[in-house]
Amino acid sequence: MVHSVPRAALRGPTFIRLLARLTAVETDAPGASLPDRLSRWLDWTHAIALSTALDGQTQAPDAEAPAFDADVEAECAQVRASLVRSIEGARELATPGPATMTASTPDYAPFRQRHLAIQRSIQAHTGQLRGRLRDMLAQRSPEMARLAEVDAVMEMALSPREHRLLGQVPTVMADHFDRLRRGADADGETAPGAWLDRFRQDMRHVLLAELDVRLQPVEALLAALRTR
């Protein structure tokens, strides 16, 4: 039987709440406001770039630049659906084979490899979409061009931190894998059954939540492009 440790309720994005539930470390609610946290994350070069994007002049729209239309929006939906299918398929593709798993010694390595591969795919596809949509937004109007520049600066400033933090998730999942396995051993389970199925499901939920996080800037740009 797999045991659950009671945890205090934590408010926040789904991704953060999922990771908090899967870790053995108590997570306190954030004490600083978003502007305060951003002020710590942006160094002076990023602050100058952000100020320039907000106050500087924008380039004139390019009449030959690709326009936003229903086909572009459909492509965004297709990319998301493809990534979701990849995550859903990870439940089977990440299953360790005979060479790496016996009835009593499951190995996390295949799960880690699959997790990293999906993360790289999410980052690549969402990054490409974000850049394309930003270029289209810059052609709408001076106000939209300024918004596109702000998004570019924020991506440049926050992406390294985002990449570093999200890169720690497979390690968090490794700890969760070990805790579930130890719990099964303590209960006398002789084969990786329910606990391994639970891990696959938790891995799926975490990757879907990470996809939502990565897609937030894309959704924001889409919302701006839909305005007339």
Mean pLDDT computed over 44-58: 63
pLDDT of residue 147: 87
pTM of the predicted protein model? 0.78
pLDDT of residue 67: 79
**Distance, CA of 167 to CA of 57 (rounded, Å):** 37
218 in a domain, yes or no? Answer: yes
137 in a domain, yes or no? Answer: yes
Q: Is 4 a residue whose pLDDT tops 50?
A: no
pLDDT digits (tens, 9 = 90+) for 17-47: 888 888 865 555 555 555 566 566 666 576 6
57 in a domain, yes or no? Answer: no
132 in a domain, yes or no? Answer: yes
Those residues whose C-beta lies under 8 Å from the C-beta of residue 126, and which sit 6 or more positions away, are 79, 211, 214, 215, 217, 218
**Distance, CA of 129 to CA of 76 (rounded, Å):** 7
pLDDT of residue 11: 47
**Number of domain units in the chain:** 1
* CA-angle at 43, arms to 56 and 151, nearest 5°: 45
pLDDT band at 12 (very low <50, low <70, confident <90, very high): low
Tell me the average pLDDT of the chain: 79
160 in a domain, yes or no? Answer: yes
2 in a domain, yes or no? Answer: no
156 in a domain, yes or no? Answer: yes
Selected residue with higher pLDDT from 90 and 133: 133
Mean pLDDT computed over 100-120: 81
From the list 39, 17, 46, the residue with the least C-alpha distance to 29 is: 17
pLDDT band at 154 (very low <50, low <70, confident <90, very high): confident
Domain hosting 188: range is 14-28+64-226
Q: Is 99 a residue whose pLDDT tops 70?
A: no
pLDDT digits (tens, 9 = 90+) for 60-97: 566 566 778 889 999 999 999 999 999 998 666 444 44
130 in a domain, yes or no? Answer: yes
Mean pLDDT computed over 54-61: 63
